[in-house]
Chain A
Amino acid sequence: MKRFLLTTALAASLALPVHAATPAEGETLAENQTLDFWILDAVKTLDPHKNTDVDGAHVLRQLFEGLMNEDEAGAMVPGIAESYEMSDDGLTYTFKLRDTAKWSNGDPVTAEDFVYSWQRAVNPETASEYAWFMELMNIVNATQVVAGEVPPEELGVRAVDEHTLEVTLSTPTPYFIKTLSHGTTFPVHRATVEEFGDNWTQPGNFVSNGAYVLDSHDLGVKVTLSKNENYWNNAETVMTPLNFITINDQNVALTRYQAGELDWFDRVPAGQFPNLQEQYPDQAVAIPQACSYAYLFNMSDKGPEALKDLKVRQALAYAVDRDIITDKILQGGQKPAYFWTHWAIEGFEAPEIEMAGWTQPERIEKAKALLEEAGYGPDNPLSLTIQYNTSEDHKKLAVAVQQFWKAIGVNATLANYEWKVHTDRLQNQDFEVARYAWCGDYNEASTFLDYFRTDGYNNGKWSNADYDALLAEAKTAENTTELYKEAEQVLNADMPFVPVYHYSNAMMVNADLRGIPYDNVMYNWYAKDLYRVAE
């Protein structure tokens, strides 16, 4: 085994042993350190192994601490694990857990806690919707346990001693460490879960190991957390209490931000950001967010014949004027997309895409020519249906795309479905062209590119052996940058989708709030790193 002083992230953090709220010189902390944070929906569960929502994840990240955390740039920094070693074959990771870590009831956080929790996450009885995450981590036997073929005890995770955890992988996984800040890997307190069953997440029963404890949960109204006195680094936590306030409508939330009822409001409704920026220059911020928006072509047998023709797909992709979409419709710092992976993903370099360099009139001209070659024209116009799920923003974009395609002589009909029906149709290939978006699970390009693998989620059922081979190679490669670039080129050459835009997160932040990880494209923030300054 070779001892790693870890990557730069951990090396840096050794000099600065803990990551916590760190006021800059000259900053005075405000008396009031409350955080009122907006969430869109009721928090469905506070069980980290059952949560599937982004909003729920924001709450859980404060309550629990996994092996690793993320810093303000998204780099991995130690959480409960002080350090780790990787075996030469890249298959075994040994984590040294800090012996000062405690649960909110005073019990020590042990390696056994992680073993129990990870087994729980994949146990079919837990029926976790994120059990696949452990499969993604390539932990030995994860797939077999989820399938009920072997008992959860066979999962490749074991407590060597009270503070040493050993994880065995089935294949070397370059992004493994990056998965360790995800909620599915958080430990839960065994005695509490076993005592209260499904009710262990109720205030009063709740035991957590993160910087905060659960005070109250008023479903659909508010979740309140306060500092965990037993947290190993509680002395450095500044912000408390935290209120996660549910407001089911973006515009209402914006009003309440303006009324001073919220300190932090993300997801500014499309089109409103420029105005807000002008009105509140010190509060409006737009940061990249790891999601990509696209129109998928149905390439399966159930898809329309026309879309099997590469020329048609290219024509449709060229005709979409992405600048109008980002600059005139969305206006929240989004970037036009010509490839799939979000541009800000760590270690990803944007590939050279030919059409990105053309002007829109050039693209239109090429699109028209391609359509004609494919046999479509004024006498034989191409007709397609664009399917999208109910949302004002999706509708605006679909209408725009309909117009862009009309310009090259394609008649697009819009079909609006509510979310569940849309998804169901996507998964059964009952669509022609469909609005789609993908958000990364971890900060590495494979989280995007895996989507289009033959056995990926890949709702359009595109399949390309070269692409699959490139991604398989990337799994064990030392340097993946070129491989991912090449994979994007394969995608672009075959155009199974129309990349439309890369997300940004346009938000309003109270001017006295500091420590928000603006450079973390995963938008994973830790309230223990935040603080408010006196004005």
Chain B
Amino acid sequence: MAGYFKSIRDGFKLRNFTNYILIAAALILFLILELTGVLRRSHANLLAQVGFSIILAVSLNLVVGFLGELSLGHAGFMCAGAYIGCFVANQLHKTSLPPLVTLIVAMAVGGIVAALFGFVVGLPALRLKGDYLAIVTLAFGEIVRNICKNLPWFGGAMGLPTEQYGTHLFIVAFAVVLLMLILTQNLIHSKHGRAITAIRDNEIAARAMGINVVFYKLFVFVFTAFFAGVAGVIYGYYTTPVIYSSFTFNYSIEILVMVVLGGMGNITGSILSASLITVVNFVLQSNLSGDQAAIKYLVYALILMVTILFNNAPAFRPIKEKIGLQAILSRVRKKFGLKHPSENPEEIVDDSAKWHRIPTKIKMDSILSTDLKPADDGTLEPDPRQEDKHE
């Protein structure tokens, strides 16, 4: 753990600016709207919902996209965090602490308790793989829910009543999103992040390279569970009461949908798809009322299937190349004479020089750099375009 923080401190940078700008811009924009009183209450609450959805999606993306393990129990962590965090908050509300302090304490407690649960789930992850791990996480989520329902001090079937924070909740939520992005993106780009992706790509090779697989797997589960727990507390503040029936495995699957649609291992993608799905759900929910409510799932299901089929089916590839987002963008770029970074080989930064930070037993990079020197006739020179695609 100490090593982790040290390396984070050494290499601490604000990486991947797009995400910070995206979130900060949204926060500032809506903050202004809120302070000027233009922002409606339903939209302020929607923003809080967007906030915790982003936290959930990005943290799940760490497990699914970066560690490469399928987890269907994210709502379980959220449930644990929500119940315990809000239980603590309810106790603190009796004292004279300001609401913001209470909220922060509740988030910390909820997060830590969820992180403990994450550790417990991480243990089977050391032994199980793929779909077996997926069903264990699902089972774990259901167990947490079942136990929370039956514990007497959590209100049973009636749920745990919570205090409301009001419309400013989204500011807190977005602040947590920013904090999480800083931690997550620095983690991903540190040697630890590379170790995690190495485990995803080939666990045995990673182990052979001296990567501590046990530590990293547990670490990722603890880290993501922490943020799921924090999201759970925000959820508890967003609505009262906290009730176990909100955290079914269907909710876990909904978070997974956000991750998959956004692109696995793509943080910006998770942010965008989490916001989009939440907003789409809100629009469907608030416009299709009465008799039309049943159409909502139909529309949602169709959107889901069409998006996945269009993005993934080989049969659609030619159409996608013509009318897909990438194709449109490349046409736009052509028109303005812009180039995608991958089309500009000169711009690709060779950061292999900085690799000395990886403390491997063998000086791998020195060996590699001598071997890969381009031959005079240029035949051995790796194609930069090809390499970039694997990024």
B and A form one assembly? no
